[in-house]
Amino acid sequence: MKDKKAKKIVFKSAEEMPAMVISIGSQTHNLTGAWRNIRPEIDLAKCLKCGICWKFCPEPSIDVVDEWPVVDYDYCKGCGICAEECPAKCIAMVEERK
Amino acid sequence: MKKVIMGNHALSFGAMLSRARVISAYPITPQTQVVELLSEMCAEGTLDAKFIKVESEHSAMASCIGASVAGARTFTATSSQGLALMHEMLHWASGGRHPIVMGNINRSMAPGWSIWTDQNDSLSERDTGWMQYYCASNQEVLDTVIQAFKVSEALMIPAMVILDAFALSHTYEVVDVPDQAAVDQYLPPFEPEIRLTPSDPHAFGGLTGPEHYFELRYKLQKDMEKAPALIEETGREYEKIFGRYLGLVDEYQCADADLLFVTSGTAGFTAKVAVDQLRAEGVKAGNLRIKVLRPFPFATIRKIVGRAKKVAVVDRNISYGYHGIFYQEVKAALCGEPKSPPLFGYITGLGGRDIMPESFKEIAGHALARDRADEEIVWIGVKK
């Protein structure tokens, strides 16, 4: 699981930085879910546990927990690919209320 | 062992002796034989490497980057349009600090569709953060591939080993192909400190905000600045084992030159013939062939060029709207020097038109007759 409480990495000098661009941790603080206008809501009563939403999510913001899909709203951008691909049509794209 | 081989195969043997572990490439004239021979070596098992066939040069460089991140010594080769297609990935390779070595055969950019040599393809990539070695013989090509891996891996900066289309790529020369054991002694296996591995997972090349990006570029430049000394040091080490020094420049009769040619690539070899002929006619000519353009060997060039009486920079390339690119670089190196000699800039040989000893004699005649250039660009051999 993602550690959402990770401390933001800020190097004080070039000296202490790696030359390669590695594990700078920017995605632990850049929560792209804030970009979302519509959110996927899964009706688990109709879910077939097929895993297609998990496989198609380009982010990837759908985890499978105990065989059931769980959306990670910190990173889901609301693209709707999961809803489009779901064979049981159990994912609704619902407008975000700000 | 001495062999008669073409320039393209000198690249292949260089990569083989360096024990490249991954080769990913797309064929393009005049580079094809480089990777053709390497693919045969991989198929026969004489080279223990993975040969990745791809659908474009962009993908060739992308897969080289992936292999290099995973810790493999990685080689590829391309030319002209193929190099241009790689452009985006060239920045990824240098910015990500992946020490890939690539052969580039200098071929003119289309249109007009051309397979013949000039340097505008590689010079268009001058500012991508790759080191650039311009070679003048097949021996130098082979030796430089081996040295380039050593320098690149020490600094984690990729390098291009560059040779002229046909004038070297398809020209057969006697080349001393070193013993594998001696090359192994010179070039140990690639062991990067950080690599892509399941036992120590990392994200590579991720989002980097204004609080860190600047420092990454500062570090790339600082490491690039270490390269001139390292090239000389590894060049001397190479000389100790193989008897051939690999430096930043190639000086020929420079010490007392009244007229100094500044050249690159095979034109720099032809220039030596012209220097001999001019000296026989009583003109004290000399030739400084710039082998390494990036990093630019400022101190060396300032020293050698600064003491000449007149300097003629010969470019087989052009930056449209300004001048030949080596001319700009040499001029910039001398800027601010209290006693810099008059500089003349010549453009010749674009699109593979031959540069002959007579071309240098024409240049000498022009430069010796003037105290300073009366036109910014002097064209040699163009049908005006």
Whether B20 and B157 map to the same domain: the answer is yes
Chain B partners within 8 Å of A30 (Cβ): 207
| Domain that includes residue B271, residue range | 249-380
Apex A44 CA angle, A39 and A50, nearest 5? 95
Q: At what angle do helices B138-155 and B7-17 cross, to 10 degrees?
A: 40
**Residue burial B41-73, b: 16+ Cβ < 10 Å; e: rest:** bbeeeebebebbebeebbbbbbbbbbbbbebbb
**What pLDDT digit, counting tens, does each position of B41-75 carry?**
999 999 999 999 999 999 999 999 999 999 999 99
Whether B277 and B235 map to the same domain: the answer is no
User: Binning pLDDT at 50, 70 and 90, where does residue B186 land?
Assistant: very high
CB contact under 8 Å between A14 and B202, yes or no, is: no
pLDDT exceeds 60 at position A2? no
pTM for the model: 0.92
Whether B213 and B339 map to the same domain: the answer is no
CB contact under 8 Å between A27 and B219, yes or no, is: no
Q: Chain A closest CA to B93's CA: distance in Å?
A: 10
What's the mean pLDDT in B10-23?
98
| Domain that includes residue A50, residue range | 31-95
The number of domains in chain B is 2
Whether B255 and B139 map to the same domain: the answer is no
What are the strands, taking DSSP E only, across B283-334? 285-290, 292-294, 310-315
What is the pLDDT at residue A18? 87
First to last CA, chain A: 27
Whether B218 and B255 map to the same domain: the answer is no
Interface of B with A in 357-376 (CB under 8 A): none
Whether B113 and B140 map to the same domain: the answer is yes
Contact B210/A at CB under 8 A: no
Which of B97, B152, B200, B213 is best to mutate for the A interface (most A CBs within 10 A)? B97
Which of B197, B212, B224 is best to mutate for the A interface (most A CBs within 10 A)? B212
**What pLDDT digit, counting tens, does each position of A67-97 carry?**
999 999 999 999 999 999 999 999 999 999 8
Side-chain half-sphere CA neighbours of A82 within 13 A:
33
User: Binning pLDDT at 50, 70 and 90, where does residue A3 land?
Assistant: low
Chain A partners within 8 Å of B218 (Cβ): 14
Mean pLDDT check: name the lowest of A13-27, B183-197, B227-241: A13-27
What's the mean pLDDT in B334-348?
93
Looking at B242, B257, B285, the residue that finishes a domain is B242
Q: What is the mean pLDDT of chain B?
A: 97
- The verdict on residue A25 lying in a domain is no
Share of chain A above pLDDT 90, in %: 68
Apex B145 CA angle, B139 and B150, nearest 5? 130
* CATH assignment at residue A55: 3.30.70.20
What is the pLDDT at residue A1? 44
* CATH assignment at residue B315: 3.40.50.920
User: Binning pLDDT at 50, 70 and 90, where does residue B380 land?
Assistant: very high
pLDDT exceeds 90 at position B124? yes
Contact B220/A at CB under 8 A: yes
What's the mean pLDDT in B337-354?
95
CB contact under 8 Å between A20 and B206, yes or no, is: no
Candidate from B203, B215, B220 with C-beta closest to A22 = B203
For chain A, list residues whose CB is within 8 angstroms of any CB belonging to chain B: 10-11, 13-14, 17-24, 26-27, 30
CB contact under 8 Å between A21 and B211, yes or no, is: no
Q: Chain B closest CA to A9's CA: distance in Å?
A: 10
The count of CB pairs under 8 A between chains A and B is 53
CB contact under 8 Å between A27 and B202, yes or no, is: no
- The verdict on residue A26 lying in a domain is no
- The verdict on residue A81 lying in a domain is yes
Length of chain A in terms of residues written: 98
Whether B100 and B180 map to the same domain: the answer is yes
Which of B157, B193, B216, B218 is best to mutate for the A interface (most A CBs within 10 A)? B216
